[in-house]
Structure 1
Amino acid sequence: MTQSDHNISPAVPLAVTIPIPAHWQQMARDKGFRLTRRGADRYQIMLKCDRCGREHRSKRNVLMDHVPLCPHCVKDRWREDAATAGLEWLRRDPDHHRHGFYRAGCGHTIRRQFGRVRQIARGEHALRCETCQRQREEAEACAAGWKLIGPAVDRGPNYRLYRHSCSHEQELARANMQSERISCGRCGVGWATAPSFLYCMRFGLPNAQQMVKLGYSNNPRSRLHHQLMCGPEIGGAILRTVAVSTGRKAQSLEKRMHGALKRAHPNAIIPPARYRAHLRVKSEIYDARLEPTILAMLSQLGTDPSV
């Protein structure tokens, strides 16, 4: 009478019963592990990490020829690097062993190399979410009357492909889109014939010195925030603007006003060396005591119907 199959004890792999050589044990200890047992076959071994106390399966030749890495410690390091970089480690990329997926502080999922996240944690690289970056660039384009299509095809990485409200598509530098210093190749007009503004701006430098600037621009707000100030520590404000029919006329009026100010108040002209590190401009900066004078000149122009 034969015994039922379910009463037969499962076969024990031969590799499990083979004794572990003493020099294997010593080699594991020298490399920060304890060899606890053999694996499912003669090529596999189980190593217990001295650092974290957790066990993992490894290959015998890895122990013999290399220094094994504890996968648990590696994942712990990925999580620690992510936390230091302001991220949450989610999982490895199954298709690329050097990459992982992370959740950024904004809530979006990003994919990065583990080494790059470690560099971000050390402050060697900045963290940028591609989704948020795309949204920022879309908002910049929308504010200027354009729509972001995608990366530029024929230009460098600082350019993007945009579609204007007239349906014309054009590759433009993102910096110009941010400052709105752009013109549509189909329906746009040049600065000389486009409407413009005369303006008076006040600046406060880090040394607490106040100064004013008289100038013209078709977009004074962009001129102030994207072109003139070198850093966020500088205080800047637009005090007054006067609309002018064309850029050419605004340029002519500005030159006439600067001439009058320089003749009447030569001592109020501030040397460029005193603001060169803070403002991206080479001249036409005055002491703050001329602020009322410049504002009065602009007010007078504002009542001139020919402007």
Structure 2
Amino acid sequence: MSHNKPLHIPRRSRHVPAHEWRPINRGIPEAWHAIAEAKGYRIHRRIRDRLHLALECRLCGALTAHKVHTLRSARPACGGCRERAMLAQAAKAGVVLGARDPAHRHYASYTLPCGHTARLQRGRIAKLAEEGPAAGRSGYHCAPCHLARLGALAQSWGWRLVGADPEGNANYRALGHEACGHVQRVATANIVTGRYDCGGCGESWAAAPSFLYLIRLGVSGGGTYVKLGYSRNPRSRMLHQLGLGDEVEAELIDEVPMPSGQVALAVERGLHARLRADHPDLVIPRADLAAWINVTSEVYAARAEPIIRRMLDEVESPRWPRSGCPAA
């Protein structure tokens, strides 16, 4: 057997310098060979000192250093078999095993599908290999990719990612407003949804421009509906605030700009009042909404779409009275 085979060292002995694991010329009692054979090993040689052996696994052929006492009193663990199991486990989880963490036996470095390297718990990788990642979630966190995603999202809302939170909170980032250059802290959850305002040039929701919107909702196996509402950011409202279930497909089909949130709220309330008065049969009851959207009203049957579109056309027309809702 070649003496150039790598030698697996048990965790508790990894502090010993590599040069100390040298072969030593000492005899091996026949009784030890019999014990090793019974436990699935062959004694390859004596190493380091009179207390240690290099055991060759009969299953995978790897060499592992163990004390003579361990061979005689327990079942020695094969470092080669353990490493092969970890490699297979990582591959099943969709990552590549790197080096074990010398400071913490429960961690190792892994190369992620994106190409970045992350320090992850081995137990988490084992769980991913067994169960697979949850729907829409990888099961691990890639810091560079997360940072790039936050930067792209901030850019989509008109901001630039400046860096980490100056106060050291991992749930915040420092953003700079492209329009005025103001830099401020923003929660990462709000970077995703776009629900934040500029502390330098921003306005409150009541004074800031807003929109009336109409969203079409297709519920798998449950029909089609429309929702009328208002928001400073209808796209963010649709994607992040309505709490739509996985079975719902949403499409933003109309937007009407409003001079302020206060005006948008007044007009929206007037439109809902007209719909409830003139078309009560089109109003979807609260109980029918609970399973797939987190609002309790403002949703109508699909047949209401052309009616609401005409109402929104009225709002956009020059004849619309700017002091309130269009007349019924």
TM-score by length of 1: 0.86
2:223 to 205, 209, 219: 209
Distance 2:167 2:253 in 1: 41
1:170 to 172, 180, 184: 184
Counterpart code for 2:157: A
1:306 Cα deviation (Å)? Answer: 6.1
Structure 1 residues 198-220: Cα deviation after superposition (integer angstroms, max 9, x where no partner): 11111011223111111111111
Is residue 110 from structure 1 mapped to residue 123 from structure 2 by the alignment?
A: no
CA pair 158-63 structure 1, distance change in 2 beyond 3 A? same
For residue 188 of structure 1, give the secondary structure of its aligned residue in structure 2: coil
CA pair 20-265 structure 1, distance change in 2 beyond 3 A? same
Q: Does the 8 Å contact 1:196/1:250 carry over to 2?
A: yes
For residue 287 of structure 2, give the secondary structure of its aligned residue in structure 1: helix
Which residue number corresponds to residue 297 of structure 2?
Answer: 283
Which residue number corresponds to residue 179 of structure 1?
Answer: 193
Counterpart code for 1:109: T
Which residue number corresponds to residue 81 of structure 2?
Answer: 73
Is residue 20 from structure 1 mapped to residue 29 from structure 2 by the alignment?
A: yes
1:58 to 66, 74, 78: 66
Q: Does the 8 Å contact 2:163/2:175 carry over to 1?
A: yes
1:249 Cα deviation (Å)? Answer: 0.3
Distance 1:244 1:235 in 2: 26
Query: Which ranges of structure 2 fall in alignment gaps of 5 or more residues?
Result: 1-21, 134-138, 323-328
Could you tell me the percent identity over the aligned residues? Answer: 37
1:52 Cα deviation (Å)? Answer: 1.5
Which residue number corresponds to residue 237 of structure 2?
Answer: 223
CA pair 273-300 structure 1, distance change in 2 beyond 3 A? same
CA pair 106-155 structure 1, distance change in 2 beyond 3 A? closer
TM-score by length of 2: 0.81
Segment drifting more, 232-241 vs 263-272: 232-241
Q: Does the 8 Å contact 1:151/1:159 carry over to 2?
A: yes
Which residue number corresponds to residue 3 of structure 1?
Answer: none
Is residue 248 from structure 1 mapped to residue 256 from structure 2 by the alignment?
A: no
Q: Does the 8 Å contact 2:62/2:79 carry over to 1?
A: no
Which residue number corresponds to residue 84 of structure 1?
Answer: 92
Is residue 194 from structure 1 mapped to residue 244 from structure 2 by the alignment?
A: no
For residue 19 of structure 1, give the secondary structure of its aligned residue in structure 2: coil
Query: Which ranges of structure 1 fall in alignment gaps of 5 or more residues?
Result: 1-12
Distance 2:157 2:69 in 1: 62
CA pair 50-106 structure 1, distance change in 2 beyond 3 A? same
Counterpart code for 1:43: L
Distance 2:142 2:129 in 1: 15
1:156 Cα deviation (Å)? Answer: 5.7
Task: Provide the alpha-carbon RMSD of the alignment.
Answer: 2.5
For residue 289 of structure 1, give the secondary structure of its aligned residue in structure 2: helix
1:41 to 43, 46, 49: 49
Q: Does the 8 Å contact 1:155/1:171 carry over to 2?
A: no
Q: Does the 8 Å contact 1:120/1:127 carry over to 2?
A: no
Structure 1 residue ranges (4+ consecutive) displaced by more than 6 angstroms after TM superposition: none
Counterpart code for 1:90: G
1:113 Cα deviation (Å)? Answer: 2.7
Is residue 127 from structure 1 mapped to residue 140 from structure 2 by the alignment?
A: yes
For residue 16 of structure 1, give the secondary structure of its aligned residue in structure 2: coil
Q: Does the 8 Å contact 1:35/1:48 carry over to 2?
A: yes
1:229 Cα deviation (Å)? Answer: 4.2
Is residue 136 from structure 1 mapped to residue 149 from structure 2 by the alignment?
A: yes
1:263 to 277, 283, 299: 277
Which of the pair has more CA radius of gyration? Answer: 1
CA pair 150-29 structure 1, distance change in 2 beyond 3 A? farther
Q: Does the 8 Å contact 2:23/2:46 carry over to 1?
A: no
CA pair 296-73 structure 1, distance change in 2 beyond 3 A? same
